[in-house]
Homo-oligomer: A and B are copies of this chain.
Amino acid sequence: MNKSITEFPTRLASVAAGIEVLLKQLLADTALEGEIFRPTRLVAAMRHAALDGGKRLRPFLLVETASVFGAPRAGALMAGGALELVHCYSLVHDDLPAMDNDDLRRGRPTVHKAFDEATAILVGDALLTLAFDAMARPQVHPDPAVRVELVLGLARASGLGGMAGGQMLDLAAEGRFDDAPPKLGLAEVEELQAMKTGALLRFGCLAGAILGGAKPAERDALDRFGAIIGEAFQIADDLLDVEGDPATVGKATGKDAGAHKATAVGILGVAKAKEKLFGLIGEAETALAPFGSAGALLKAAARFVAERRA
């Protein structure tokens, strides 16, 4: 068996542990330079949203992509923490009653259930703001030109032309703003999901390449890999919604059909979606070919994303 495949769970857990320590530090009680005071309730609710949660897949992709180039791990972890904060904020706002109205997240009450709706709105806002704070810090990389490039890339992936825009398209696809849900074709659904879910995963890979000082061709290859991972992740997620067990997944399943969510699985059917998913693993491996054995762990990550059960 390939060493990277057996190594993968350990490496994933190691990044997750590093991110947990880092997010705890970022969410300390003490105000930093340029801050006045950190209110106890807001800090507690931000911790509820960000700590002890998830696989930390986005930071993993960032850290392990940077590691292909031998970039220092501490900087990659800080950049990964920034990316994870954006992901966490998006979950908090996505769960709000006016959005997807979810009570459960990672097996725990969502922030507006554990606290209240106003607090959840502010938690999302403050996590998003803290993400840019973290990405701009000298710990990420000694060269401010690299940090400012990462800040700009994170903003583009997360904003109106990326994740936030994708959430808008997703609500529109449910028929929120029309009498009936519009009929989206496969290409439109794929664009929606490339924005809503794909953009952050993809940026994780690109950010690792930027941190590692990748050459343009290497950067393009990792950007392509990131786009493929993003697509595979979403198809696997939609398959889990159809076939998964809520206890394992940690949130309600079977919701997409009821909410008229636009998914590739809904359009293609389960069998063809699985076929597409395995095709994507092949494409991911092709994209990583130029990196030889240095890309083995990222290949294992592609397989994990496609085959995960939770």
Interface residues of chain A, those whose CB is within 8 Å of chain B, are 31-39, 41-43, 46, 89-90, 93, 96, 98-99, 116-119, 121-122, 124-126, 128-130, 132-133, 135-137, 143-145, 147-148, 151-162, 164-169, 171-172, 176-177, 191, 194-195, 199
Contact = CB atoms under 8 A, between A and B. Distances in A.
A157 B33 CA distance: 10
Contacts of A165: 35-39, 42, 126
**Number of identical protomers:** 2
A32 B35 CA distance: 32
Contact of A156 (B34, B116, B162, B199): B34
A contact face: mostly helix, strand, loop, or mixed: helix
A32 B172 contact: no
Contact of A98 (B35, B118, B194): B118
Nearest to A43: B160
A64 B128 CA distance: 29
A35 B156 contact: yes
Given A34-B156, A39-B160, A130-B155, 5 more contacts: A42-B164, A118-B171, A121-B121, A128-B129, A144-B148
